[in-house]
């Protein structure tokens, strides 16, 4: 997969624990500026901003300017793809566990 496609891939975006934490923080609040997000991490504003750029490329985060401030907001719609993918495997494991339970009962 080339770099441009990787940047837009939801799975690549959520693979990093810092980005998952940013998603969690944005999910808990309506929107947050960079200066409110940064203290939650052991890194500088530039690094947090780079993580936000990856999330924006994957369409997981939107932003809007208010004066000189940029406020970030979660766009959860792309996470539906992840939920659908996980639902398939949840069904697979539930069926496997049920088969194992029946086998053990016999």
Domain-wise residue ranges, the chain: 3-75, 77-106
∠ at Cα 71 (43, 3), nearest 5°? 60
pLDDT tens track for 51-84:
999 999 999 999 999 999 999 999 999 999 998 8
Q: What is the dihedral of CA 16, 52, 44, 47, to 10 degrees?
A: 60
pTM over 0.85: no
CATH 3.30.590.10 for domain 3-75: no
């Amino acid at each position: 997969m080339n770099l441009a496609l990787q940047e837009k891939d939801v799975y690549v975006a959520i693979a990093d624990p810092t980005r998952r934490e940013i998603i969690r923080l944005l999910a808990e609040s309506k929107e947050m500026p960079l200066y409110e997000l940064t203290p939650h991490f052991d890194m500088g504003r530039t690094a947090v901003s780079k993580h936000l750029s990856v999330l924006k490329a994957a369409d997981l985060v939107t932003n809007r300017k208010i004066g000189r401030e940029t406020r970030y907001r979660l766009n959860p719609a792309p996470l539906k793809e992840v939920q659908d993918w996980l639902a398939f495997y949840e069904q697979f494991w539930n069926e496997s566990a049920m088969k194992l339970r029946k086998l053990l009962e016999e």
